[in-house]
Structure 1
Amino acid sequence: MKLLPFLALAMLATTLASSAADTDTRVFEMRTYHTAPDKLDDLHARFRNHTMQLFEKHGITNIGYWTPIENPDNLLIYVLAYPSREARETSWKAFQADEDWKKAKAESEVNGKLVNKVDQLFLNATDYSPAIKPSAGSAERVFELRTYTTTPNNLPILHERFRDHTMTLFARHGMTNLFYWHLLPDQPNAENTLVYMLAHASVDAAKASFTAFRADPDWIAAKKASEEKGGGSLTIPDGVKSVFLKPTDYSPTR
């Protein structure tokens, strides 16, 4: 590797590391709502006009709200933050007992319930994640939620590869690193799961960026070295899942 490109890469890595949330001990909750048919707009209205404000009233931080760009299942995905798991339980009890919430929920469900099922993930920030806080891009952005399932015992090596190489190379190829999480220990598959989110100018821009990233000699070398260390691929077959998202009009992260 030539010296100047190496120095530039090292400086970028230092910049990313300096913004990492290595002291962020908060608990994050990713909630996925499976809405009833034709009820997604009503759910958006309830969040926009009531739920978000009531969350904040009870000490719950709104990070971002998204829907898949292709959304045949009528999903709403959002992320909240709490000081701790115990604080989360206290806040939700107070929120659910709030008379304003009970009224908003009842009025929104006059013609039937809005949500059929809720999926939850409880997460902590990785030590290399950029600061996890709401943000808005200077232009409209597309978001990509990526979930990796590793081969046995290789999650630490995957973290190492992201920390030392992948994030910097993503940035080199025009991708914005937003949030990186691992699951809390009591969550299923916590020992082999990485969840993270990127931002792109568009879906086409994301595809172009990943094509350039995968052809980058620095990535090829980092991938080879990490797989030699891990005894093969760090992810199981079909172990990388990607969903492109668009922010809702009321999302703090846009």
Structure 2
Amino acid sequence: MRSAVLLLCCVGLFAAFIQPKTPAPVDTRLYEMRVYYSPEGKQPDLMARFRNHTMRIFEKHGMTNVGYFVPQHKPDSCLIYFLSYPNRAARDSSWKAFGSDPEWKKVSSESEKNGRIVSKVISKFFHTTDFSPQLQIDQKGNRVFQLRTYKTTPYNLPLLLARFRNHTTKLFEKHGMTNLVYWTEDNTDNILMYLLTQKSKEAGEAAFKAFREDPEWVSVRTASEKLANGSLTESVTSVYLVPTDFSPLK
């Protein structure tokens, strides 16, 4: 009898923690993050190609340019950018048309007369979470973007999403951080990726310090880890990004 009562109490606690609030309208578009690495000394050529040609040809074929960034700590290491599409079929159709476009073929050939300007490409696909703000592609300027990626421990993505939905995003705002967008990676069950904006990297680091020391956050984290019988995350990566001069999102 006592065991049954304890079980019911645990179930009640779990339900209370993950109970979703009324969700905002969900952005159903498919997002793609692409990371381009260039041979040494070739990144300026890659940037020029995007600035002068590639973005316009993307739009011509139905792709939406969201944002283009470089890592703040090492801006010449890679180009990170985001596109969006109505769905995966539209994405594949757009890229097929882009790849066979005579204008693109000419631009690509001319830009690589002195050697390849892209040495490696990474591509990943995402959908927005039910608690994500609607992504506004605007140019406010005077801010940096923080890209954070969480890999959860086995089976704990739902608990992590619940913690963000019901608590974390509000605590971020409390400490001066702006929630921009939250995504889960397609075809995985353990990745949450999101973008925050802050006035500067220093301001962001100070805000996270205050957040981590907030008694409310400590209580929330403790309660969620009790339900999971341990940490919800296996790894967390954070990169501060600076928008390029041609980025639609700044």
**TM superposition score normalised by structure 1:** 0.87
AA paired with 2:35? T
1:121 aligns with 2:121: no
- Aligned partner of 1:141 in structure 2 is 143
- Residue 55 (structure 2) pairs with residue 52 (structure 1): yes
**Distance in 2 between the 1:133 and 1:89 partners?**
24
RMSD: 1.6
Provide the rounded CA distance (Å) in 1 between the counterparts of 2:183 and 2:96: 25
Query: What is the one-letter code of the residue matched to 2:64?
Result: T
Q: How far 1:74 moved relative to its partner?
A: 2.0
Q: Is the 8 A contact 1:51 1:101 kept in 2?
A: yes
In 1, Cα distance between equivalents of 2:226 and 2:200: 34
Letter in 2 for 1:74: S
Residue in structure 1 matching 2:105, options 96, 102, 106: 102
Residue 72 (structure 1) shift? 7.0
> Corresponding residue for 1:11?
none
Inter-partner Cα distance in structure 2 for 1:200 and 1:133? 15
Are 2:168 and 1:170 equivalent residues in the alignment?
Answer: no
Report the Cα distance in structure 1 between the residues aligned to 2:54 and 2:172, rounded to whole angstroms. Answer: 35
Taking the aligned partners of 1:98 and 1:133, their CA distance within structure 2 comes to 30
Match of 1:246 in 2: 242
Larger radius of gyration: 2
User: How far apart in 2 are the matches of 1:43 and 1:72?
Assistant: 13
Shift in Å at residue 23 of structure 1?
A: 2.5
1:63-212 to structure 2, matched below 5 A, reads: 63-71=66-74, 74-137=77-140, 139-185=141-187, 190-212=188-210
C-alpha distance in structure 2 between counterparts of 1:148 and 1:73, whole Å: 25
Alignment size in residue pairs: 231
2:8 corresponds to: none
Q: Percent identity?
A: 53
- Aligned equivalents of 1:72, 1:142: Cα separation in 2: 13
**Counterparts of 1:90 and 1:127 in 2: how far apart (Å)?**
27
Following the alignment from structure 1 to structure 2, what is the Cα–Cα distance between the partners of residues 50 and 79? 17
Q: Deviations over 1:82-137 (max 9, x none)?
A: 11111101000101111111111111111111100100111111111111241222
Instruction: Name the CA distance, whole Å, in 2 between partners of 1:249 and 1:33.
Output: 17
- Rounded Cα–Cα distance in structure 2 between residues aligned with 1:144 and 1:253: 13
**8 Å Cα contact 1:36/1:74 also seen in 2:** no
Unmatched 5+ residue regions in structure 1? 1-13
Cα distance, 1:54 vs structure 2: 0.6
CA contact (8 A) 1:66 1:248 kept: yes
Greater CA drift, 22-31 or 151-160: 22-31
**TM-score between both structures, scaled by the size of structure 2:** 0.89
Q: Distance in 1 between matches of 2:75 and 2:34?
A: 18
Asked whether the equivalents of residues 70 and 76 of structure 2 are also in contact (C-alpha less than 8 Å), the reply is no
Structure 2: any 5+ residue segments left out of the alignment?
A: 1-20
Residue 60 of structure 2 corresponds to residue 62 of structure 1: no
1:63–1:133 CA contact under 8 A, matched in 2: no
Q: 4+ runs of 1 displaced by more than 3 Å?
A: none
